[in-house]
């Protein structure tokens, strides 16, 4: 396409989620609006010697019942999550892949870490049983692009297909790149989002050694408290959030139910530090400004921001600063919340799950709360929708995600007019 003005409009027609708060969108959304926490003491491995012993772990997921049992055995947990969420999103969209032009249907699914379960399992096999016992499915299972590859095989989608790996911004970047592929005229339909399954012994040990995770182990459901003065680190979650994106014309032609329009995408880099956000908020500010500009809306039109809001001291402070830089006086009028307070931080899947939350907020007018907000932080002084959901006539919302390495991604969604 020659310009943004001539680019096709992109809409969201299907949603799929796998989360500690539910394995289908309606259960998940009901729990989000109710302010329920999906965080508990971990059961998947012995956490006795770990400083952080809690997470948003999915305990009721049986991949063999939700996909081909052979494929379930061959693929990592992160691929299972993404595959199940993608199939649910396609079903929710009422999309019949066999009736589509397969060359104009693509899949972009991000993962910050990929097949960590497979990596750890097969390393143990190597150390304990030797190299000849390592599974021939090890590499296909652990690589970060296998989820989008398996989804494409299932759907027969021959369009653009790749993974985005940008740490905790991966899911949002994947949706943004899918948005761009449609706007460039390359595709009519894209399956996009993020998937992550990094609640493993090695992963937890690594994050704990960084002192990045909360140690509020005695009250798991109260541990994640974004923007609260007493926040002490993030809580890891796992799962997937997948969207079906289409051109507006394509969705209308097949009579699809439309959740909302995906109107803008902005990406940037802090170019500052490998793990710490820019203390002046310049990178995230740039991503938000770019997303708003692509959407063709004024900053004052944004009603709600689903913040990255990790519950770490630096992130929440600097994200608040960036929001004030972009929105000025309007920053104190719009609503901001962090649903990670309930879902935990799904790393590379966070952007997919949180974009899904924004789509449901636009559809229903429900604004998710930030739970566990008890003690205001003078440096975090916006309206964080504390503890209880709200109802509001939302028109335009924004979702932020940041990743280690300084990667930033912002998405603008709006009610379809």
Catalytic residues: 168, 308, 345
Beta bridge partner(s), residue 408: 268, 402
Q: Which two tokens stand for residue 225?
A: 């408290």
| Look-up of token digits 């975090």 | 380
173 burial (CB, 10 Å; 0-12 / 13-18 / 19+) is buried
DSSP character string of 124-135:
HHHHHH-GGGS-
Neighbours of 404 (CB within 10 A): 18
Q: Which two tokens stand for residue 84?
A: 């199940």
- For residues 400 and 306, give the distance between their C-alpha atoms in angstroms, rounded to a whole number: 6
> Ramachandran region of residue 167, left (φ > 0), alpha (ψ -120 to 50) or beta?
left
Ranges assigned E (strand) in 255-395: 260-269, 304-306, 335-337, 366-367, 390-391
Helices marked H in 35-106 — which ranges?
63-66, 69-74, 77-92
- For residues 14 and 245, give the distance between their C-alpha atoms in angstroms, rounded to a whole number: 7
| Look-up of token digits 């509020």 | 216
- For residues 80 and 185, give the distance between their C-alpha atoms in angstroms, rounded to a whole number: 30
Nearest to 347 by CA among 236, 262, 250: 236
- For residues 91 and 348, give the distance between their C-alpha atoms in angstroms, rounded to a whole number: 23
* 170 to 10, 142, 165, 193, 241: CA distances (angstroms): 20, 16, 5, 8, 12
DSSP character string of 340-359:
HHHH-B-GGGHHHHHHHHHH
Q: Which two tokens stand for residue 1?
A: 């396409």
DSSP character string of 145-159:
THHHHHHHHHHT--S
Q: Which two tokens stand for residue 92?
A: 């929710």
Q: Which two tokens stand for residue 58?
A: 């999915």
């Amino acid at each position: 396409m020659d310009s943004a003005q001539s680019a096709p409009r992109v809409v969201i027609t299907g949603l799929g989620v796998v989360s500690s708060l539910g394995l289908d969108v309606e259960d998940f959304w009901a729990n989000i609006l109710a302010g329920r926490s999906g965080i508990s003491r971990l059961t998947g491995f012995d956490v006795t010697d770990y400083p952080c012993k809690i997470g948003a772990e999915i305990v009721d997921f049986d991949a063999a019942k939700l996909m081909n049992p052979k494929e379930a055995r061959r693929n990592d947990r992160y691929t299972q999550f993404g595959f199940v969420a993608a199939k649910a999103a396609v079903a929710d969209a009422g999309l019949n892949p066999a009736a589509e032009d397969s060359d104009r249907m693509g899949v972009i699914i991000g993962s910050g870490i990929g097949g960590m379960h497979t990596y750890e399992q097969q390393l143990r096999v190597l150390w304990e049983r030797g190299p000849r016992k390592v599974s021939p499915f090890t590499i296909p299972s652990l690589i970060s692009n296998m989820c989008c590859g398996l989804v494409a095989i299932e759907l027969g989608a021959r369009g653009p297909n790749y993974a985005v790996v940008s740490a905790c911004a991966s899911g949002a970047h994947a949706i943004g790149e899918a948005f761009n592929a449609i706007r460039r005229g390359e595709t009519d339909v894209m399956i996009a989002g993020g998937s992550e399954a990094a609640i493993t012994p090695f992963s937890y040990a690594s994050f704990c050694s960084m002192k990045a995770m909360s140690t509020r182990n005695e009250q798991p459901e109260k541990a994640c408290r974004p923007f609260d003065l007493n926040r002490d680190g993030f809580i890891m979650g796992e799962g997937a959030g997948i969207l079906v994106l289409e051109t507006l014309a394509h969705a209308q032609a097949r009579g699809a139910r439309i959740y909302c329009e995906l109107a803008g995408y902005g990406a940037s880099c802090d170019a500052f530090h490998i793990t710490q956000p820019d203390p002046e908020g310049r990178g995230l500010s740039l991503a938000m400004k770019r997303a708003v500009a692509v959407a063709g809306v004024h900053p004052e039109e944004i009603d709600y921001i689903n913040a990255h809001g990790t519950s770490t001291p630096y992130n929440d402070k600097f994200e608040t600063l960036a929001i004030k830089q972009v929105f000025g006086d309007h920053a104190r009028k719009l609503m901001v919340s962090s649903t990670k307070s309930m879902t935990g931080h799904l790393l590379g899947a966070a952007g997919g799950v949180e974009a899904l939350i924004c789509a449901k907020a636009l559809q229903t007018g429900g604004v998710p709360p930030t739970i566990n907000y008890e003690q205001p932080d003078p440096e975090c002084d916006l309206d964080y929708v504390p503890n209880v959901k709200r109802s509001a006539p939302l028109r335009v919302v924004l979702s932020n995600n940041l990743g280690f390495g300084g990667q930033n991604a912002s998405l603008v969604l709006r009610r379809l007019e």
